[in-house]
């Protein structure tokens, strides 16, 4: 080594959490070249800048706001409607459960519990393959095809006349819906900056609440209408046809309106497409990379943050799986009629909407999504305690407790947005998203099994299980918060080193969050 060459000495604690190629690059003082070699191919965004090397692209505040408004108006409405249908379509069975489906198709013992779980077996089986396809295929078009297929599958429920047929429909419904949540997380990270992602994820996910209100009103209207005027087909079949065919129509609209990325957005001019990419440069993540990278898969599997996310999804969705499939029956256990339960379940959707939007906004505003999101679990625990502890005679108090439990999705949504924000490298991001939703599936499979027929009508063991799960989730949330804070401190030390060099267009090299020193974890 010549006398003018520098060799960097790394702190051992810092180095042990750093990918080996990056550590070698920093020690050698050649981080730019090593990163290029390690990345081996760049993000799709790099194509937009071919021929513009060295050109400074100015993006003033007024232009940025104009682009954000245009992006919001073209993306958010269709994403919100689709995600609402995503929730409505998989929970339609809860309405059908008190509209005659159990008797008509001969459900006995724990058959209904297994119908609730079977959706998530399909989701689980196809989650990782669909994430790979989301990476390899055009994002907008692949998502649209899945939306249309799940709508058609749901409509087929109207033709079911036995338990076996119902099991098959629920399984394939899970297969086709498995693309939506990870796909929407990718859309959000692709189009929005880190400080915008929490709010937008909260908005489109809040349409679960709108769907709960809409579904309850539609089911109540069908139940009342058929009771008064009669019907040639069973009421529960009508609700499957209405929601399924509506989803197919929305899927067709999605196909023609949702771009795969900024580069083929028809509602943006060529110059605005470039600016739309430039505005997300700050994310240090790019807009997509179609090449599978084994080293990013390995990094995802060895990153403690990955498994903290997965653990949360698994434990938090045990309560979700139980409540989402049994909320109509839970409300009837408070002393209300079947028709009343369809109507009285709708205010729970309002609680979910308010919590998701408010916490999403406050999380971005305070730059502290994790701690803000814990409020959803504290409120939900209080709600479940009211259900367990209040006497059976206090129907209104127990119903109010159920409404409070609808704040529980708040942390799940916060972490979904954090996977968009805090996981970089396209292969790594899709892998972590897949694992997170696999945990979600397993939790939702377990959840309905906690509501055992022998525990009806109070289901106390299931309710106590839910409280315990939410308590464990709070511990996991605090671990993620402090882990991200520690990693940010280490990265700041790396950037402050006198021999650190930032490469031009480093943001578009498809680097992972751990190997990119410029990457800052959002709390």
For residue 452, the tally of other CB atoms under 10 A from its CB is 13
What is the spatial distance between Cα 95 and Cα 341, in angstroms, rounded to a whole number? 9
Q: Which two tokens stand for residue 277?
A: 């990419």
Please, are residues 225 and 465 in contact by the beta-carbon 8 Å criterion? no
The answer to whether residue 155 sits within a structural domain is: yes
Please, are residues 78 and 191 in contact by the beta-carbon 8 Å criterion? no
What is the spatial distance between Cα 115 and Cα 240, in angstroms, rounded to a whole number? 15
Residue ranges making up the domain that contains 382 = 75-269+278-508
The answer to whether residue 23 sits within a structural domain is: no
The answer to whether residue 501 sits within a structural domain is: yes
Q: What is the tally of structural domains in the chain?
A: 1
List the one residue out of 111, 10, 129, 228 whose CA is nearest residue 430: 129
Residue 151 CB burial class (10 angstroms; 0-12, 13-18, ≥19): buried
56: Cβ–Cβ under 8 A, 6 or more apart, which residues? none
Task: Quote the pTM value.
Answer: 0.79
The answer to whether residue 87 sits within a structural domain is: yes
| End-to-end CA gap in the chain | 42
The answer to whether residue 288 sits within a structural domain is: yes
The CATH number that applies at residue 81 is 1.20.1250.20
The answer to whether residue 64 sits within a structural domain is: no
Please, are residues 267 and 396 in contact by the beta-carbon 8 Å criterion? no
The answer to whether residue 259 sits within a structural domain is: yes
CA distance to 213, 356, 410, 434, per residue, from 350 (Å)? 8, 10, 13, 29
pLDDT along the chain (523 residues), means of 10: 42 50 52 45 60 63 92 96 88 80 86 85 91 90 96 93 92 94 91 90 90 83 81 85 94 95 90 87 70 88 95 93 75 81 82 91 90 95 92 88 92 90 88 91 86 78 91 96 93 84 70 86 89
């Amino acid at each position: 080594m010549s006398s003018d060459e520098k060799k960097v000495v790394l702190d051992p604690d810092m180095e042990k959490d750093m990918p080996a190629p990056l550590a070698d690059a920093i020690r050698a003082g050649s981080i730019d070249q090593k990163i290029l070699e390690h990345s081996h191919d760049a993000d799709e965004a790099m194509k937009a800048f071919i021929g513009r090397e060295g050109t400074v692209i100015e993006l003033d505040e007024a232009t940025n706001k104009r682009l954000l408004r245009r992006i919001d108006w073209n993306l958010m409405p269709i994403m919100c409607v689709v995600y609402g249908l995503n929730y409505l379509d998989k929970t339609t069975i809860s309405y059908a459960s008190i509209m005659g489906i159990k008797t008509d198709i001969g459900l006995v013992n724990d058959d209904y519990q297994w119908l609730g779980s079977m959706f998530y077996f399909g989701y689980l089986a196809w989650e990782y393959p669909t994430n790979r396809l989301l990476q390899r295929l055009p994002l907008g078009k692949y998502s649209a095809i899945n939306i249309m297929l799940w709508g058609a599958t749901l409509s087929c429920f109207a033709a079911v006349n036995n338990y076996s047929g119902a099991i098959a429909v629920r399984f394939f419904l899970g297969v086709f819906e498995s693309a939506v949540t990870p796909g929407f997380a990718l859309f959000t990270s692709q189009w929005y900056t880190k400080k915008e992602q929490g709010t937008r994820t909260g908005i489109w996910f809040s349409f679960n609440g709108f769907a709960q209100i809409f579904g309850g009103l539609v089911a109540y209207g069908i139940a009342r209408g058929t009771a008064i005027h009669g019907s040639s087909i069973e009421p529960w079949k009508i609700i499957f046809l209405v929601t399924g065919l509506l989803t197919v129509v929305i899927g067709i609209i999605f196909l023609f309106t949702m771009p795969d990325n900024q580069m083929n957005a028809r509602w943006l001019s060529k110059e605005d497409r470039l600016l739309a990419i430039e505005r997300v440069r700050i994310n240090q993540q790019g807009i997509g990379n179609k090449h599978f990278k084994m080293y990013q898969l390995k990094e995802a599997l060895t990153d403690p943050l990955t498994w903290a996310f997965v653990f949360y999804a698994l434990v938090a969705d045990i309560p979700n799986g139980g409540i989402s499939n049994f909320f109509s029956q839970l409300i009837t256990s408070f002393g209300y009629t079947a028709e009343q339960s369809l109507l009285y379940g709708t205010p729970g959707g309002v609680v979910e909407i308010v919590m998701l939007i408010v916490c999403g906004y406050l999380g971005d505003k305070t730059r502290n999504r994790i701690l803000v999101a814990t409020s959803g679990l504290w409120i939900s625990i209080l709600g479940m305690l009211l259900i367990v502890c209040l006497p059976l005679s206090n129907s209104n108090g127990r119903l109010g407790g159920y409404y409070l439990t609808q704040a529980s999705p708040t942390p799940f949504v916060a972490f979904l947005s954090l996977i968009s924000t805090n996981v970089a490298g396209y292969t790594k991001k899709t892998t972590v998203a897949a694992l997170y939703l696999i945990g979600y599936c397993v939790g939702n499979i377990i959840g309905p099994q906690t509501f055992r027929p022998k525990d009806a009508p109070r289901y106390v063991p299931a309710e106590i299980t839910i409280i315990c799960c939410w308590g464990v989730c709070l511990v996991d949330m605090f671990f993620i918060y402090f882990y991200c804070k520690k990693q940010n401190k280490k990265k700041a030390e790396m950037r402050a080193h006198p021999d650190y060099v930032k490469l031009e267009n480093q943001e578009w090299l498809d680097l992972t969050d751990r190997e990119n020193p410029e990457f800052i974890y959002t709390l």
